[in-house]
Structures are given as structure tokens and as C-alpha cells.
Amino acid sequence: MCWLQLRIGLGSVVFLLIGAIFGVTFSVVTPPFWGHDEITQFGRTYQVAHGGFLPQRIPDSRGVSYGGQIPVSIDALMGYALRDYSRKPQEPAPLSAGHAAYDRLGSAPVGSATKPMWFTNTAAYSAIPYVPAVAGLWLATAVGADVGNTVLLTRLAGLLAYLLIVGFALRALRGYRVQWLAFTVAVLPITLFQAGTVTADTITNALAILVSCLLVKGLFLDARLSRTEVAAALVATIALPLSKPTYVLLAMLVALIPARQYGFRGWLRWIPWCCAILGAALFAVWMKIASPTGDGMGLMREPAQWHSVRPGDQLHQILGHPWHFIDVFTHSIWLRDGEWFTQFFGQLGFAYVDVPGLSILACLLAFAVSVGIAERLSATQLRTALVALAIAASVAMIYVTLYMSFSPVGYYLIDGVQGRYFVPLAVAGVAVLLRWVPLRLTNSQGKTPVRGPAITIIVATVLALVAAIIKYHFMVWGSNL
């Protein structure tokens, strides 16, 4: 079989292989509930699995709180994990206290006894991004899994969904060199780490990559979408805004794909626009439902700041004193841009382990090569500009959301912003640059090579992930393998 034939589906095949190997590795190596907000993410998953789709107010002497019930045996493991990753021992001691307590608490049966649990931050999310994790939780219950295996099966269910959705997205770009750009984003250490833990970000990232790949194919490559891809684009347009509100504009961009690429004629050409409007409407409805949870977000901060996060006051600051907000935003950039850059590649969970410099360099190499071999894109200047504006507005929404929902009133910066929040915007954002910047890699014959660059991207990706996992294991568990 010639290289061209291999190339047609190589990106998605290699993604599935690498994603499965390293995603499962992250799931196994990461202690239970050490993922990003994994304690509260699991709490929301358990609530959805038992029919709790709307935010539920719970009694709390500290103030406004939302949450639900959780089995006592799972709560015991959560409590130990919270105390363990909060210890912050002095170097060079491992960040965790070892496997013994996790093995003991993880081997306990789940049981039927429950207790109230606080998860105001994740109660604000709809049920949509938790569907795969809920399926994993149901499976764990059906087979009578103990606490540790319940957490693991819930993680692996989310990983499987991520692999299937992103694998499909990469397959949509088969035959196009730009698939390697999407591949590079999909296998960043941070994306596979999150895919291997329980979090709404797993499905959010997957849907964002799916939307971006179909946008690149239909708009920037001017290629026809298959019927399956059309259905996926329309479903993702509705599902992505309900997964994480900050990416609502990215989802709506599928309406910019020309109707001929959907195969729609006559009145059917308005179907993408109707789906975009429906997605935006459902986004607005859910935001209305979840808005009361914002009053309780201050409890995530230290006790002295519990009542300092007031979304209404922050909104008044933005509207009444926009220059003050711009000043705070500018301070945030100067003080935190280096952290956000590193976090884009990987700050792994609540151990706050930054991926090694080798991983970042390898990822940058993969990015440089994947951008260099991409096709010359052909969207109109107007539609390209609209995509660019939507990406810029989405970035602004990230900052505004954290300013209103997590930053104390009068704080000197926008707190809570993390580099991983920009990953879902990466493929579409780089596509805009590819449309406006014509520079590409060519060989001595003036042609863009494929085989060598693809191998370089794969090797760099594997190197980045291996280095990240070795460092994470060393930092968390110590040198004992």
C-alpha cells in the first residue's frame, strides 16, 4: 500500500492508538479525584446519573450552596484525596502519601448510604457533557464495582467518548494535510490528561475539535461534508453551548459553512442557521437556570473571600467602568501570561504538575510542522474575518466569565484563568492564521512533503506525552515505578 493510501486515514488511526495508550495511562497513574475539579465533577456526574439534571440548592451555613448526595464510601475517598493533594510537602518528597490509603479506601463497596456534597461550581453545568461519564457510572453500578473501580470506569467511559468523537473529527479531514494540526491539538498532554479523568471538559474539548474540523473542511477547504458529518455538525452546534457556555460562538460558526457543502438546497439551506439559533437559545435558557449558582462561587476561595465574589457587582463594574476592567485585564496578562502558556500544554490536575520543558518543545515542534504542511485555505475574507471575531470574542468571554464568577470584587487581576481553557479554540484560531499567512513548508521540488513531517509530528507527540507521564508519576508517586 502506497503512502498516499496510508495517509487517507492515518491521522485518525494514529490518534486512536496514541489517545488510547496515553489516555488510559493517565487514568491509571492519576490518583482518584486528582484531576481538575474532579471531586466536584464526579459529584455532578453522580447527581445526573440519578436524575438530578437541574442545580439543587443544599443547606450550608457558609452561604449559598448547590450540590447533591454522594455515597459515603466514595466521599471517604474524596475526602482523603482532598487532604492528600492539599498537603504540599517540601521537595523532594512525593506529592502524595502513597498508594496504601487509596487502595484501602478504593476497595470498599460503594454502598447505599449517602451524604450531602457541595459542588456549586459544577452544578452550573448542564447534563450534556456528563453523559459518557454517567454511562460509565451506570456500568460500574451494574457490575458491582468497588469505589476505586467505579472511579476508573467513569474515567474510561469519558475517554472512550473522547476517542470516538475526535477520531471521527480527524477522519472527516482524511486526505487533507491540515488533519495533522487537529491531531496535534487533540493529543496535547493536557487534553489527554483531562480525557483520562472525570470532567465536563472531556466532552467539551471533543465537541470543540469536532466543530473546528468540520468548519475547516466545509469553510476553509471548500469541501463537501458527508451526510454523517452534516448530522454531526448540526448536533454539535446544539450540544457544545450546553457543554460549556464560553464556546457558544464557536458552535455557531458552523452556520458559516456554505449550504452547498451541506448538500442543502432551497429552504433546507436554513437548517444550519436554525440549529445555531436553537443552540444559542438553549444556551440562554440554561444560563438563566444556572445563574443563581454564581452567588455561591465565592466558597471556592479562602474563607476571608467567601463573600467577595459577587457577579452582579462585577457586571456593574464592566458596564459602568469599562476602562477599569481593561486595566485589570492588562495586569492579568503581564502577571500570568507565562503561566497560561505553560498550562496550554499541561498543568496536570490539582497536583499542579507542569509538563516538562521537553514536552512543550516537542509540542511546539509538532505545531510548527503541522502548520507548515497544511493546505492553503480558501474561505472568503469576510467569512474568515467572522471566524476570527468569534474566536476573539470567545477568548474575551473566558476572561469575563472568570472575572464575574471567580474573581473577588476589587481584585487586582482576573483570577482563575487557565491555559487549558484556550485549547478548544486552537484549531479554528490557527485555521484563520493559515488563511491569512501563506507561508508553507516545501521540498526542493516545490512540493509539500507529507511522510517525513507526519512521522516528525507523531514522534514529537509521543515524546511529549512520555515525558509528561514520567514527570507526573515522579512528582506524585516518587521514583518507585
pLDDT above 60: residue 4: no
At residue 246 the predicted structure's pLDDT band, cuts being 50, 70 and 90, is very high
What's residue 312's pLDDT? 86
What pLDDT, on a 0 to 100 scale, did the predictor assign at position 1? 38
Cis upstream peptide for 92 (omega within 30°): yes
DSSP state of 99: S
- Which pLDDT belongs to residue 442? 67
Question: Which pLDDT value is given to residue 443?
Answer: 64
Euclidean distance between CA atoms 437 and 395, whole angstroms: 21
Buried/exposed code over 274-291 (b: 16+ C-beta within 10 A; e: otherwise): ebbeebbebbeebeeebe
pLDDT digits (tens, 9 = 90+) for 400-426: 999 998 999 889 999 999 999 999 999
pLDDT of residue 72: 97
Higher pLDDT, 440 or 340: 340
| pLDDT tens digits for range 157-176 | 999 999 999 999 999 999 99
Euclidean distance between CA atoms 115 and 434, whole angstroms: 52
Mean pLDDT of the chain: 93
Q: Which of 2, 124, 103, 3 is nearest to 53 (CA)?
A: 124
Q: For residues 299 and 65, is the Cβ–Cβ distance under 8 A?
A: yes
pTM: 0.95
Using pLDDT thresholds of 50, 70 and 90, give the confidence band for residue 3.
very low
DSSP 135-204: HHHHHHHHTT-BHHHHHHHHHHHHHHHHHHHHHHHHHHTTT-TTHHHHHHHHT-HHHHHHHTSS-THHHH
pLDDT tens digits, 10-36: 889 999 999 999 999 999 999 999 999
Alpha helix segments (H runs only) across 349-411: 357-372, 381-405
β-bridge mates for residue 109, sequence order: 146
**Which residue, among 153, 166, 246, has the nearest Cα to 197 in the 3D structure?**
153
Res 440: pLDDT: 76
**Strand-pair partners of 118:** 67
The answer to whether residue 85 scores a pLDDT higher than 50 is yes
